[in-house]
Structure 1
Amino acid sequence: MSFKVPGSEIPGYSAIYRNSQFEDGTQGTEFAHITTAYELFQHQLALAPKSEFLGTRQFNPADGSHGAYEWMTTTDAANYVKDFGSGLDHVFAKHAPDSRGAAGQQPVGIYSVNRAEWLLTEFSALRSRRYTVGICINVNLNFIDYVINHADLSVVVCSLDMISSMLDRTILTPCLRVIISMDRLDCSRPNSATRAYCAETADIALRKRAEELGITLLDMDEVVEMGRTAPTDAQLPKPEDIYTICYTSGTTGAQKGVITSHTGFVHATRGLYFTVRLSDSTHLSYASLAHSMDRYASYTLMFGGVRIGFLGGDFTRIVDDMQALRPTIIFGFPMLLNVIYDKMAKATIGASGIKGLMSRFAYRSKQKHLASTGKLDHWLWDRLVFSKLAAVLGGRIKTIASGSSSLNAEVMDFVRIALSCRVGQGYGLTETMASGTGQPMGDHTSGNIGVPNPGTDIRLRSRPELGYLVTDSPCPRGELMIRSKSVLVEYHKQPEKTLEAMDGEWLVSGDIVQINPTGTFSFISRAGNLFKNHLSYWISPERLEDIYSQHQLVKATFVHGSGSYYKLVAVVVPDAAEFLPWARTLAKLPEASLEELCANAAVVQAFLQTLDAHADLNSLFPVEKLGAIFIEPTPFREKNCDLYTSMLKLRRKEVVKHYDEQLQRMFTEVGKV
């Protein structure tokens, strides 16, 4: 499935692998005329000028509920971009004429949840050869200050609910001069961001406070009116210009600002489009646009025309948004797909009685049908068993693309069968604007991250100190390296980090993978997360967390270990719905709370034995079994202490710090070597 470049091996490095449809390492000539992200937006305009483009759910301020999606056509979006882009020209000329960022271009900060105004702001910035810097929500305020200062942001466009906290900290962000509210400051167009405000608290109080602090506060409608009254000529970006500075999620330490050019971004999106080749798609935008994955998805789908609907409320109500939007494609985190799997599997193949028997028989039958015919749907079992599951997510999903971290093969297979849709896994980095590898259409295998995207070269380099060699048999293993036009220009203001990230013209990923006999690649672990146990056996905690978290009693796990101790230990978050009745029966405490049961010694011991049996079922080695566990009743995401990045990845160092007392107690329990 990959093309192995003849004679490309050198000592310590594997052969170079390419997409088999583009053996010369290029992307051919199709869409070669599109060279910038702004031109890709213009392509969407030419392809579907009157089609629905950006969708926002109606909002009821009385009860906070959301209704149907309301749509802006592509032509409406283009007209808005012309006016708002012209208005931005006036704002910069009057309030920040000396604003300069990387390469002398002017940056525009964007700080909000995903919404139509986010992309409209980006298109408008690109119209005048500016670039965007996304500021992620749900991160600590120090990170927000860091991004504003590090990226030299003088103008930030944000939702109304973010303005007050920004004004609170202007003394820490002296470069900030202008804040533009996505929402009307008179609150005449209510939505979830304006609920806590009214004209008096926003249009009067916030404006007065901003003026006292020396900040110009406007709303987007005011800026649009400036541009409509005095339109400016577009100053379109060039391919080599900066498209964005995208800050890494912080799983490996301090966030870095990744500079991506228009050439690099378009190369990334073209490669993905040639892999999926989807047209007239409906996409639910929920993964933070401040990071790379959702923009990578949204712009890719513009090649074939797309409707982009935005999350109506918070992530916990995403199923309601899916039912309202009825998407045809989902770009998902493994965490989301794990939740879908847990709920659907329990309702079908995990059910008791006749329903469970029929569901398990239907599932096995569909598996055989897929293997023999390559067809995802089944005339009988979809009607009797699986159609209701598909309807829960809108009933029209044809493709699910998973990224950000590895997806368990069992989850992947179940979602594929249950929803009768293609489920593919890919791999990418912020440093490649989410591009790297992906499973092509028609590939229904599991346990791999696909093949190189068109125009991307992949190779491995040996990491002998970690026990991974490109000479390993039957599967070469090592650190994944990427050579592509999509690779970052540099880390903003961190030339030393740029040098560390490169091996000649190759980006060093920091991830350990293997090359399978089929020519696909499989993720093993983040190199920095591997640790050696007392027998000098390298442990991949992510792999074990993935396996242990598949048990029905488990919601999430964090596995930790050290060469100084005999056994691994883990912090385990139980699935309350399954764990409570199991633990209450076990402890003979029918009224006990979740917290009481998590601290009950008998329950802890029984839970550990259950996970030990689960390890046996998954053929784990004795050194991969848990010696002690701490049961955490509160999900990691609700701890309010930055244990997750905005891309829903665990910050391992922060988890170790947060649970230091419990981890040390467990290590004492399992004993030193």
Structure 2
Amino acid sequence: MSAYLVGVLVPLAVTLFFRNSKKSEKKRGLPVDVGGEPGIAIRNSRFPTPLETAWEGVFTLAELFEYACKRHGDKYLLGTRRLIARENEVAPDGRTFEKLHLGEYEWLTYAKVFEKVCNFASGLAHIGHRREERVAIFADTRAEWFIALQGCFRRNVTVVTIYASLGEDALCHSLNEIINMYSILESTNVNILALYRGYNCICGNKELKKLVDISGQLDTVKRLICMDDEIPSSASVEQSGQWTITSLSNVEKLGQENPAKADLPQSADIAVIMYTSGSTGLPKGVMMTHANVLAVVSSVRTIVPGLESNDVYLAYLPLAHILELAAENIVAGVGSAIGYGSPLTLTDTSNKIKRGTKGDASVLRPTVMAAVPAILDRVRDGVRKKVDATGGLSKKLFDLAYARRLSALNGSWFGAWGLEMLLWNFLVFRKVRAVLGGRIRFLLSGGAPLSGDTQRFINICLGAPIGQGYGLTETCAGATFSEFDDTSVGRVGNPVPSSFIKLIDWPEGGYLTSDSPMPRGEIVIGGPNVTVGYFKNEEKTKEVYKVDERGMRWFYTGDIGQFHADGCLEIVDRKKDIVKLQHGEYVSLGKVEAVLTVSPYVDNMMLHADPFHSYCVALVVASQPALEEWASKQGIAFSDFADLCEKKETMKEVQASFLKEAKKSRLEKFEIPAKIKLLSNPWTPESGLVTAALKIKREAIRKAFSEELSKLYES
């Protein structure tokens, strides 16, 4: 009996000892004395003062790019898959879907890209572009986007980034707000750089149509420059007589024949005016200096372990989002290769991949990726669906292996370590890792909170740490970032080396820095990564940007956080997402949504609370594969997916899954939606209901589904 107790208690004691010692021995963030509004401030434990650059003698993005190209000239920089064919497939319901047959990656070296960048910069000068004229990029992510960006930087030209998924109103607002600007736009098939005499743009067929539709409001457009050599014919454009069209390669050729001396920027010059995705209204243009972006790029370089020229990065997120723009500048700065892909061709089973064709990740086999939580949630759900469909011994082995590794990651010595871990990796998780190429060693997650369930799933199944970050466009995506050895979930890490993080009291919401056991309050971010402000919006700039008596610039985020004992930050709320119900209870919409979207039946959702009612309701975009599989097992007949979503049994099943997740996360009863509406059509950026980073647009959804929301409260 005593031997048995020793066998149980000794490992338990050792586990507890190491867990406690780890927590006490490593301080990831330390208190720091700062100016401005009273609060509690934390800095990165490794950097007593904010980091501005990680490269000696480099103070702008243009200098960083030139430094990298000269140092890594013969190495691959930009890769693009060859398009072999486009085919249309007809689904059983009669809908037609385009499928792509893609080949291998074709690469440009650092030296070749630098040559193209210099030629493009000279070409802009030759066609009459002036320094004070801006260039707007309205395009999906691709190599030409990056080349155009760097070409503009070599002429000290400010680049305006606009999401390719913007609707007509937001697009018109963004373009009309910029004066003396060139724009860069792109579409599904062809990408065009539209050079305006007030605006210069790059676009494609889809974007070209958008421009034509609002051409009456864009009378300053003078020239379009196609990224591709095949320039589409468009009667509407020709009839307008407004625009002339040339190709990007022609501009490069003009630059090659008429080289112009570089006009490099200073660190305080505006590098980018980045329009937000407009989740809370019309997009705002955030003005970023070269110093702002370089501070974040430098910070992440010090955090990602061993980032070097042998790494391969898969680029598929919108370059109009600061997360992707910063990530590509980071990996280019250290000499890594960037292979371009798309969310629609990412894996072997992605929507646009022709059957039998490999997805981008399988071909590229990246070592580093950035992802938004929505993408990682889809990877998790896809793997779980396959495992459940397989059933039998395979499912039992997966569940056992997962449970053993989960126990280990949660700190138990009784979990799978050492040889057992290697065995499970070989027998079970090797096939899962092949989904993203099998070589991922580090994932960067940002843009929205990542659920603990998804984080653990990725840790175990992909065998890679996730650096979960927190930041905003206004801070160049920089604020906090979890270090590679921080395996905790539910937190967003410690301050990045360029940032100070401060919490200030928000008494109206009940969040105080004097709270126990952890100080809580509104998150305020200071440091060289805090941007200049909003373009042509001085009133809003003064509202959320402050400079203290010591000269430190601070941004007031509106997010609510709490500091853990080791100096790491946890996001707990958002001021705008808190609604007071009829009986006085407060509901945090974002917090509840993060809990309930873990349900396998949910693709997306919006919780709605009304101060004139005592309960919440929800609009739920249903997961078609999960619900159809459930209905099949239950013997429930339905004519189509929309019919299935209307059935009472379906709503009851989804509600039951919500109660399960709510119980696990200890939600209050009033936080759980009393009534739901299941929606069969997905929310896409093109629909205007979610941003390019897949964040929901509450006001747009409320307007689009006002009738459905009213009925939920009436019934």
TM > 0.5 between the two? Answer: yes
In structure 1, the residue matched to 2:631 is 583
Alignment of 1:289-300 (within 5 A): 289-300=319-330
The separation in 1 between residues aligned to 2:58 and 2:125, in whole angstroms, is: 25
Shift of 1:7: 5.6
The separation in 1 between residues aligned to 2:109 and 2:60, in whole angstroms, is: 21
Alignment of 1:576-655 (within 5 A): 576-583=624-631, 586=634, 588-637=635-684, 641-655=687-701
The separation in 2 between residues aligned to 1:326 and 1:91, in whole angstroms, is: 40
The separation in 2 between residues aligned to 1:388 and 1:356, in whole angstroms, is: 13
Shift of 1:395: 0.7
Shift of 1:376: 9.7
Contact 1:136 1:290 in 2 (8 A): yes
Moved more, 321-330 or 29-38: 29-38
Q: Relative to structure 1, is the Cα distance of residues 333 and 513 closer, same or farther in structure 2, using a 3 angstrom cutoff?
A: same
Letter in 2 for 1:468: Y
- Where 2:684 maps in the other structure, the secondary structure is helix
The reply on whether 1:18 has 2:43 as its aligned counterpart is: yes
Shift of 1:536: 2.6
The separation in 2 between residues aligned to 1:159 and 1:252, in whole angstroms, is: 26
Q: Relative to structure 1, is the Cα distance of residues 597 and 500 closer, same or farther in structure 2, using a 3 angstrom cutoff?
A: same
Contact 1:133 1:245 in 2 (8 A): yes
Alignment of 1:57-96 (within 5 A): 57-61=81-85, 63=87, 64-93=100-129
Contact 2:53 2:298 in 1 (8 A): no
- Name structure 1 gaps, 5 residues minimum: 187-196
The separation in 2 between residues aligned to 1:375 and 1:286, in whole angstroms, is: 34
- Superposed CA deviations along residues 539-589 of structure 1, whole A, max 9, x for unmatched, are 121221122121222222211112321221111222211212423555x54
The separation in 2 between residues aligned to 1:84 and 1:658, in whole angstroms, is: 43
Letter in 2 for 1:568: C
611, 628, 639: which one aligns with 1:563:
611
The separation in 2 between residues aligned to 1:225 and 1:29, in whole angstroms, is: 34
The separation in 2 between residues aligned to 1:87 and 1:426, in whole angstroms, is: 38
Shift of 1:304: 2.0
545, 549, 574: which one aligns with 1:502:
545
- Where 2:460 maps in the other structure, the secondary structure is helix
Moved more, 300-309 or 401-410: 300-309
Q: Relative to structure 1, is the Cα distance of residues 412 and 606 closer, same or farther in structure 2, using a 3 angstrom cutoff?
A: closer
In structure 1, the residue matched to 2:361 is 322
Moved more, 540-549 or 402-411: 540-549
In structure 1, the residue matched to 2:145 is 118
308, 322, 338: which one aligns with 1:279:
308
Contact 1:157 1:181 in 2 (8 A): no
- Superposed CA deviations along residues 91-150 of structure 1, whole A, max 9, x for unmatched, are 125xxx5xx7xxxx3311222211111010111111111121122111112222222221
Q: Relative to structure 1, is the Cα distance of residues 313 and 17 closer, same or farther in structure 2, using a 3 angstrom cutoff?
A: closer
Moved more, 459-468 or 361-370: 361-370
The reply on whether 1:431 has 2:462 as its aligned counterpart is: no
Shift of 1:459: 0.4
- Where 2:570 maps in the other structure, the secondary structure is strand
The reply on whether 1:451 has 2:494 as its aligned counterpart is: yes
In structure 2, the residue matched to 1:191 is none
Q: Relative to structure 1, is the Cα distance of residues 223 and 516 closer, same or farther in structure 2, using a 3 angstrom cutoff?
A: same
- Where 1:555 maps in the other structure, the secondary structure is strand
The separation in 1 between residues aligned to 2:60 and 2:71, in whole angstroms, is: 16
Letter in 1 for 2:564: N
Shift of 1:274: 1.1
The separation in 2 between residues aligned to 1:62 and 1:577, in whole angstroms, is: 26
- Where 1:16 maps in the other structure, the secondary structure is strand
Shift of 1:28: 7.7
376, 380, 391: which one aligns with 2:423:
380
The separation in 1 between residues aligned to 2:251 and 2:237, in whole angstroms, is: 15
224, 228, 232: which one aligns with 1:183:
228
Number of corresponding residues: 639
CA RMSD of aligned residues (A): 2.4
Contact 1:376 1:420 in 2 (8 A): no
Q: Relative to structure 1, is the Cα distance of residues 570 and 165 closer, same or farther in structure 2, using a 3 angstrom cutoff?
A: closer
The separation in 2 between residues aligned to 1:547 and 1:627, in whole angstroms, is: 15
Moved more, 160-169 or 400-409: 160-169
**Percentage identity across paired residues of the two chains:** 28
In structure 1, the residue matched to 2:162 is 135
- Where 2:325 maps in the other structure, the secondary structure is helix
Provide TM-score, normalisation by structure 1: 0.90
In structure 2, the residue matched to 1:38 is 62
The separation in 2 between residues aligned to 1:175 and 1:29, in whole angstroms, is: 39
In structure 2, the residue matched to 1:190 is none
Contact 1:259 1:492 in 2 (8 A): yes
194, 208, 214: which one aligns with 1:163:
208
Shift of 1:86: 0.5
- Where 1:379 maps in the other structure, the secondary structure is helix
- Where 2:674 maps in the other structure, the secondary structure is strand
The separation in 2 between residues aligned to 1:617 and 1:368, in whole angstroms, is: 17
Q: Relative to structure 1, is the Cα distance of residues 337 and 432 closer, same or farther in structure 2, using a 3 angstrom cutoff?
A: same
Q: Relative to structure 1, is the Cα distance of residues 363 and 312 closer, same or farther in structure 2, using a 3 angstrom cutoff?
A: closer
Provide TM-score, normalisation by structure 2: 0.85
Contact 1:148 1:176 in 2 (8 A): no
Q: Relative to structure 1, is the Cα distance of residues 55 and 206 closer, same or farther in structure 2, using a 3 angstrom cutoff?
A: farther
- Where 1:284 maps in the other structure, the secondary structure is strand
The separation in 1 between residues aligned to 2:360 and 2:113, in whole angstroms, is: 22
- Name structure 2 gaps, 5 residues minimum: 1-26, 88-99, 183-194, 346-350, 548-552
Contact 2:526 2:555 in 1 (8 A): yes
Moved more, 78-87 or 29-38: 29-38
Moved more, 524-533 or 314-323: 314-323
Letter in 2 for 1:402: S
232, 249, 254: which one aligns with 1:221:
249
- Where 1:597 maps in the other structure, the secondary structure is helix
Contact 2:368 2:442 in 1 (8 A): yes
Q: Relative to structure 1, is the Cα distance of residues 117 and 157 closer, same or farther in structure 2, using a 3 angstrom cutoff?
A: farther
Q: Relative to structure 1, is the Cα distance of residues 399 and 643 closer, same or farther in structure 2, using a 3 angstrom cutoff?
A: same
In structure 2, the residue matched to 1:659 is 705
Letter in 2 for 1:78: F
In structure 1, the residue matched to 2:383 is 344
Shift of 1:611: 2.4
The separation in 1 between residues aligned to 2:236 and 2:646, in whole angstroms, is: 47
The separation in 2 between residues aligned to 1:71 and 1:19, in whole angstroms, is: 38
The separation in 2 between residues aligned to 1:168 and 1:651, in whole angstroms, is: 24
- Where 1:547 maps in the other structure, the secondary structure is helix
In structure 2, the residue matched to 1:492 is 535
Contact 1:157 1:182 in 2 (8 A): no
160, 167, 172: which one aligns with 2:217:
172
